[in-house]
Structure 1
Amino acid sequence: MKEARNGGAKRIGNIKKDELEGLIGEYISFLKIERGLSLNTISSYYLDLVKFYGYVMEEKVDFKTPSPFFFQDFLSYLEKQNLSGKTRARFYSSIKGFYKFLFRHRMIGEFPFKDIGYPFVVRKLPDFLTKDEIGRILSVDFTKRYAEKKGSVKKERSAVADFMNVRNKTILELLYSSGLRISELATIKPDNFNFDMNFIRVYGKGQKERMVPFGTPFKDLLKTYLPLRQKYERGDKNYLFITERGFSLTRQGLWKIIKKAAALANIGKNITPHMLRHTFATHLLEGGADLRSIQQMLGHSSISTTEIYTHTDITHIKEQHLKFHPRNIRRK
């Protein structure tokens, strides 16, 4: 963000040009150290604020006392760059968080977002799998595929294939059983599990801790997987899911397993790890679970995020209406 200086820092009104840059640096440090946000999240905030910094410099605005019109103009500027409503809303949240930080630390005298409306975002309904599709994925047998590719000795090939088959099934069952994010799945450790209560201790966004239940099918698979895992673990003993070489599985590695399962199950949808999370929530709602419980299991900070699942399966709602509404019941 720094530019060449001629005869000292350039000023915008009474504000030094490099002051905003320094405050952004302090805010990023705050997000990293005190908020404990992930590197990906921090990177997103930083890039948004870099763009905001450039706009402030270009428009020569005193960023400590911006008018509401300035933010609206900035959002219009983003819109002209063909950025989606969701991306513009993210910029809004990034800048609002930055100003909240400045206000709370008394770096500005007034919080300028009180009368500024949130940019409208059209929410895309999440894609999810049907019960038949998820059943086919959970029934996939990876053994033959791995036995054909791995190892030079038949016995060794078979052992590695068995390990990877059970591991992959355990991964898929956990995703569907508990609705974890892929980043949460990658960092799960064996000591996160309470087998007496059937709960997992999960650390989500901002290292927020939550307890998530898991089902019996996953528990049974895990009991099979853990002894196999001990034969392959090397340095990464802390992480639950490892490669056949003993290293922890990355998010990319987990993604490939999910894609492979979908291909073997002959499912044409573009399946992502998050789709399994959506499937978990949708099937819970269809089964009668309340939104508050689903919110807690998913780790959503706001119930409004969870409410999108009330709109996911119109077909199911219509079937329920047809089946149970008294005007639809055929008279015998």
Structure 2
Amino acid sequence: MSTSTGKTPHKRGQRKNNLDIPQRFLDRLTPTVLETTHSSTLKADKTLPETLTLDRLFYRYYSARQAAGAAERTLEDYRKHMNLFRRFLASEYNGLDNFVPNRDVIRSWISSMLTVQKLKPSTINIRLRTVKAMFNWAMSERIIKESPFENVELLKVPEEDFQVISKAHERKLFNCCELTTFTGLRDALLMSFLLDTGVRIGECMRIFVEEVDLQNRSASVRAESAKTRKARTVYFGARTQELLVIYLAWHEKNGQAPNLFLNEFGQPLDKNWATRCISFIGKKAKISGVRISPHTFRHTFATRYIKATGDPFSLRRLLGHSSMEMVNRYVNQDVADVREQYEKFMNGGNEL
């Protein structure tokens, strides 16, 4: 014992675990106090479950689809259609911020699109499929037990004939393009490229100059640019080739981006601008009865191809379809085509 302090000296390296606490404080730590303190600690550590809202559900779904490598076109559709759904909820249900909508809400949305917005059944079904896919995913992830689309059927779509651009319409469109100006040359090239290749407008805007082969008259659609995430090669004719020769000379000097189609400042065009541009040319050409749009150009290419070759399998590869379902619609020719084939049959094709 130390003579100066009256305490037993603590050896170096020895663990000291004693606390010099007065007994009056220890007496206050009764079993009741200890139990209350422990219970409060457990309650503080327990995390309350997160309230599931439509926005939170969409965020999780969108992140999952991004992680799975969904195409930017697909992700854009998710954002677009979900925003349209939110807009409806905000106007009719005050946003539904605190819960996920049920099937009555979905049916009310369908009714609004039919009667108020007067949309086509095919357009409505596109929006419904996008939102429905999110709820199907949520069920597969066991986030929800039942989809609000349960027992809600898609609308029946009447089979319509594809609109196609006639050769006369085509001449009128190209006559509106002033080839001595950059914009006129580019617009003529854009229409010619779409008519020759049948590519989707989003895919077209993402094609790079280095992916165009002038000599072989072909262009590559990268997997990350394609809607189906599968790369493919498309081909173009002599008119497109001649326009490309002149256009690429401008692109080499003025292009600020690798994309094939640029604006006058050398920056990439987007598909919305290109769609508006083609529509404007259609109005300028005073074409009526046919909707002048990039998708009509795609239908025109497919219809002309199937009439010329009769080969739906190579058409599927050129169009970039994942199945034959859509291609078969082009095979179902209109009445005039059936009559033409029948006359060929009657004029010598039916002999045994």
Write the letter of the residue equivalent to 2:227. K
Contact 2:132/2:149, CA 8 A, preserved across alignment: yes
Q: Distance in 2 between matches of 1:112 and 1:43?
A: 19
Q: Which residue of the partner structure matches residue 170 of structure 1?
A: 189
Q: Select 2:298's aligned residue among 254, 277, 280.
A: 277
Per the alignment, do residues 116 and 292 of structure 1 end up closer, same or farther by CA in structure 2, a change over 3 Å counting?
Answer: farther
Write the letter of the residue equivalent to 1:120. K
For structure 1, the 5+ residue unaligned runs are 1-14, 64-69, 144-160
- Quote how far apart the aligned CAs of 1:109 are: 6.3
Q: Which residue of the partner structure matches residue 147 of structure 1?
A: none
Q: Which residue of the partner structure matches residue 9 of structure 1?
A: none
Contact 2:106/2:148, CA 8 A, preserved across alignment: no
- For residues 19-50 of structure 1, what are the alpha-carbon distances to aligned partners after superposition, in whole Å with 9 as ceiling and x for unaligned? 55422210122334431333531223423664
Secondary structure of the corresponding residue to residue 169 of structure 1: helix
Q: Which residue of the partner structure matches residue 292 of structure 1?
A: 313
1:308 maps onto 2:329 in alignment: yes
Q: Which residue of the partner structure matches residue 238 of structure 1?
A: 258
- For residues 272-328 of structure 1, what are the alpha-carbon distances to aligned partners after superposition, in whole Å with 9 as ceiling and x for unaligned? 222111111111111134223222222233432233323464323222222333499
Contact 2:186/2:261, CA 8 A, preserved across alignment: yes
Per the alignment, do residues 21 and 61 of structure 1 end up closer, same or farther by CA in structure 2, a change over 3 Å counting?
Answer: closer
Q: Distance in 2 between matches of 1:263 and 1:89?
A: 29
Per the alignment, do residues 296 and 112 of structure 1 end up closer, same or farther by CA in structure 2, a change over 3 Å counting?
Answer: farther
Q: Which residue of the partner structure matches residue 18 of structure 1?
A: 52
Matches within 5 A, 1:48-197: 50=86, 71=103, 73-74=104-105, 76-81=107-112, 82=115, 84=119, 85-108=121-144, 117-138=153-174, 141-143=177-179, 161-195=180-214, 197=216
- Quote how far apart the aligned CAs of 1:178 are: 0.5
- For residues 85-104 of structure 1, what are the alpha-carbon distances to aligned partners after superposition, in whole Å with 9 as ceiling and x for unaligned? 23442343124311332244
Write the letter of the residue equivalent to 2:58. I
Q: Which residue of the partner structure matches residue 37 of structure 1?
A: 72
Contact 1:295/1:306, CA 8 A, preserved across alignment: yes
Per the alignment, do residues 254 and 79 of structure 1 end up closer, same or farther by CA in structure 2, a change over 3 Å counting?
Answer: closer
Per the alignment, do residues 217 and 41 of structure 1 end up closer, same or farther by CA in structure 2, a change over 3 Å counting?
Answer: same
Max Rg structure = 2
Secondary structure of the corresponding residue to residue 220 of structure 2: strand
- Quote how far apart the aligned CAs of 1:181 are: 2.0
RMSD across aligned positions (CA): 3.8
- For residues 99-158 of structure 1, what are the alpha-carbon distances to aligned partners after superposition, in whole Å with 9 as ceiling and x for unaligned? 332244343568897976543222443311113322443465514xxxxxxxxxxxxxxx
Contact 1:75/1:88, CA 8 A, preserved across alignment: no
TM-score (structure 2 length as normaliser): 0.66
Q: Distance in 2 between matches of 1:111 and 1:74?
A: 12
Secondary structure of the corresponding residue to residue 233 of structure 2: strand
Q: Distance in 2 between matches of 1:287 and 1:47?
A: 42
For structure 2, the 5+ residue unaligned runs are 1-48
- Quote how far apart the aligned CAs of 1:243 are: 2.6
Q: Which residue of the partner structure matches residue 238 of structure 2?
A: 216
Q: Distance in 2 between matches of 1:139 and 1:244?
A: 21
- Structure 1 vs Structure 2: percent identity of aligned residues? 23
Q: Distance in 2 between matches of 1:246 and 1:112?
A: 47
Q: Distance in 2 between matches of 1:265 and 1:323?
A: 36
Secondary structure of the corresponding residue to residue 72 of structure 2: coil
Q: Which residue of the partner structure matches residue 320 of structure 1?
A: 341
Q: Which residue of the partner structure matches residue 227 of structure 2?
A: 205
